[in-house]
A and B are shown apart, each in its own frame.
Chain A
Amino acid sequence: MRRVLVILIACYTSVAIMASDGISFFGSLQHDGLFAMTDEAIGTESYSFPYLSNTYLNLSLTSKWVNAGLRLETMQAPLPGFEAGFKGSGIGNLYVQGNWGWGKLTIGDVYSQFGSGLILRLYEERSMGIDNSLRGARLELTPYKGIHIEAIGGKQRVYWNCYDHTAWNLDFTKGAVVGADAEVDIDEWSERMQQAGVTLNIGASWVSKYQPQDTVFYSLTPPVMYNLPRWVGSADARFSIGYQGFKLLAEYAWKANDPSVDNLFSYKHGEALLLSASYSRRGMSLLLQAKRSQNMSFRSDRMSRGIAAHINHLPPFTQTHTYHLADLNAYATQLQGEWAFQGELWYTWKKRTAMGGRYGTTLRLQGAHIRGTTPQSWVSMTKEAYYTDVNLELQKRIAGKWYLNAMYMYQTFNAPVIEGSGELCRSHILVADVKYVTSDKVEMRAELQYLYSKQDEGQWIYALYELSLFNDLMLSVSDMYNIGGTDLSSKLHYYMAAVTYQKGAHRLMASFGRTRAGYNCTGGVCRYVPAQKGVNLSYNFNF
């Protein structure tokens, strides 16, 4: 213990000395908890502990030459919806990074993304329970202006495997992921291109994963095992060009045969194509995108399910809706294969114009359409659509103190394909979101949402009232009620009352109510959350 104290004092002294020389520290503490209550009407699960919680303490040091970071996590009784593997406590992330101008070397738990993430995206999204970092090293080099080269390798974090096998999960014979990426910004070599506002970028990546053989039987009589590939490689190439407000991106990714539980041990290769075109100028923009993906689930563990062990990132190619009823049927990427299209048009009429009125008006038209792929040809699609939504949103300051957001959405949701059961649902959704500013210290906001459908549970209604006081305190009450459907057991109120207090870097929230079972989507990832009732507590502090 004496040695520990000596080490700590030495570290503290050096840090204190360096603190006067451009070193910065940042930290955050986050605690989310639930006093869970049983509610048979909504189908809550039962838990062994009365209080479920996830807590994180993050620390980072930044300076001219060295950065370092540490994250401590404790989830002895994780929140509902987090997979069983999350239970535990310890160091979730630890790294040291050296910078020398034209290069950076990170040792420890590393994150990265190649291109659009079609073959590699390593990141943390704690509300989803995602942390797929690699424990190893990451080297980034900029040997010449416009040229970026990266190499990365390590063992992927899957739940608490940081403590498996050896003290530091560095047994690469159990599995490893390696990759390299190169990108060139050609416009940085040409002053003429820069003056003309032209950007031109090309990139290429390679990622390979290693996993020892698993015993998986192709047949039991006679017993025949799959000959599973130990190394599975993938590659990506991309090109983008921009000229003032125009931007075009094309990216193609390919993956070698990768039999796994996700694709029922198919030996077909995977591929993805992403195309994006946009034009924008102040007050107006148009975005059109298309994506074809097939068999692109890429995990470091072929036997994993759920949200663990993903190496790449294929978010749903749809808008992430934030209004409750618009998000009731959230789409999830169909990894076996899909064609997805989405588009978005924004237009803002300036203030003091005929359409803009006194304060201006903004309109957004957005749509998404997704079908499956078929074996007939590379371009063929299923006759049935998996998902469609078209929505029109209006943002307007109506009068001095009144603000309005209104939305209409038409949605089709193919539940048999996306969820495995149910029927094709067609819904019309209306939202009115009104804010009234009474003074600098008091504002109130109300939402009213209505969903009409002849399928599934029929009609829903949602109402919310929020009162903000003194810029720091917010009180809210809401209720979501199923007014349609023939099953009386589905006619339930999902009520919630919440208090949020923010002061500087502190944020405390307490709420009581019911949450319906469904998908919670954040940042393009959706996680199934079971029905819940109880008191939620959440505290955040940044320092």
Chain B
Amino acid sequence: MYPQLQKIIFAAALLLTVTIACGAQSIPSVKLKNIEGKTIDTGKLRNNGNPIVISFFATWCKPCMRELTAIDAMFDEWEEQTGVRFILVSIDDAQNVQKVRPLVDGQGWDFEVLLDVNSELKRLMQVQQIPHVFVFDGNGKMVYNHSGYTDGSENDLYQKILEVSKKK
């Protein structure tokens, strides 16, 4: 590859890395279907000034299931106390995506679910490992992100949601 161009791109990557550390991040705009088959623009997700949580998962991801089961057990309380809107984003490919709704309904979960079959939102938000959770405040700015699951880490997630919630 042209060496000069390579230097520019490597240097730009470094500069951008610094810039990213300073910039605010909001949910990118991607049109995804939800499990009811309706198309949603992720860039227009709102929650009346309350926090939004985006959680990436897949049907084959065991730590994701453990995390979501733990959150489901407490979700009614979280929603009541903070008004949080919790959105699951499945990264299952289009053959496995047929299993998403049966799993969500079978588990009795009440979460909103979007289907990112082509990993478009996943790529834009730089999700590499799942589970991966993002918390956005009432102004739509990202305040927290966390990948992987350690038993009990849902408690830290809730503390962050409480911090940014206007209903304390």
Contacts and interface: CB of A to CB of B under 8 A. Distances in A.
A9 to B, nearest CB: 9
Nearest to A1: B7
Interface residues of A, number: 110
Chain A residues touching B, majority SS: strand
A22 B99 CA distance: 36
A115 interface: yes
A540 B26 contact: no
Given A4-B8, A70-B9, A112-B118, A542 B147 contact: yes
A472 B150 contact: yes
Interface stretch (B45-53, B81-89, B104-112): B104-112
A471 B4 contact: no
Interface residues of B, number: 76
A91 B7 CA distance: 11
A507 B15 contact: no
A315 B1 contact: no
B94 A8 contact: no
B105 A245 contact: yes
Nearest to B110: A282
B48 to A, nearest CB: 20
A394 to B, nearest CB: 13
B93 A113 contact: yes
A360 interface: yes
A456 interface: no
A240 B79 CA distance: 34
Interface string B1-23: 11011111111110111011111
Nearest to A280: B105
A36 to B, nearest CB: 23
Contacts of B103: 285, 346
Interface string A302-343: 000000000001010001101000000000000000000000
A24 B26 contact: yes
A128 interface: no
A121 interface: yes
A285 B103 CA distance: 7
Contact of B12 (A11, A112, A444): A11
Contacts of A22: 26
Interface in A51-95: 56-62, 64, 67, 69-70, 72, 90-91, 94
Contacts of A364: 106
B114 interface: no
B146 A504 contact: yes
A543 B20 contact: yes
Nearest to A360: B108
B152 A58 contact: no
A111 B144 contact: no
Contacts of A474: 150-151
A117 B95 contact: yes
B144 A504 contact: yes
Contact of A60 (B105, B124, B147): B124
A111 B128 CA distance: 16
A25 B19 CA distance: 8
Contacts of B6: 90-91
Given A8-B15, A247-B101, A445-B151, A347 B29 contact: no
A281 interface: yes
Interface stretch (A207-215, A411-419, A435-443, A487-495): A435-443
A163 interface: yes
Given A26-B126, A60-B124, A15 B19 contact: yes
A124 B132 CA distance: 17
A57 B118 CA distance: 21
Given A72-B10, A242-B37, A19 B126 contact: no
Interface string A499-543: 010101101000000000000001110000000000000001011
Nearest to A322: B62
Contacts, number: 253
A284 B28 contact: no
B27 to A, nearest CB: 8
Contacts of B4: 4
B168 interface: no
Given A4-B11, A113-B118, A524-B93, A540 B129 contact: yes
A125 B125 CA distance: 16
Given A123-B119, A284-B106, A524-B96, A72 B13 contact: yes
Contacts of A482: none
A358 B132 CA distance: 31
Contacts of A524: 60, 93, 95-96
Contacts of B2: 167
Contacts of B102: 278, 280, 285-287, 344, 346
A108 to B, nearest CB: 12
A185 B39 contact: yes
A280 B26 contact: no
Contacts of A320: 60
Contacts of B156: 471-472
Nearest to B59: A320
B155 A440 contact: yes
B29 A16 contact: no
A281 B105 contact: yes
Given A362-B106, A542-B145, A60 B126 contact: yes
A30 B146 CA distance: 14
A459 interface: no
A370 to B, nearest CB: 15
A505 B21 CA distance: 12
A61 B20 CA distance: 9
B147 A315 contact: no
Interface in A106-151: 111-113, 115-117, 121, 123-124, 126, 142
26 contacts: A8-B12, A12-B19, A25-B16, A59-B13, A62-B124, A112-B118, A115-B94, A116-B93, A116-B95, A123-B119, A168-B1, A249-B98, A283-B106, A315-B96, A320-B60, A322-B62, A344-B102, A345-B106, A348-B108, A471-B152, A471-B153, A500-B148, A504-B144, A504-B145, A524-B60, A543-B21
Given A440-B155, A471-B153, 13 more contacts: A19-B24, A26-B25, A26-B28, A116-B95, A168-B1, A283-B106, A284-B105, A285-B106, A322-B61, A346-B107, A348-B107, A362-B106, A362-B108
Q: A-B pairs with the 4 shortest C-beta distances?
A: A346-B106, A199-B37, A285-B102, A280-B105
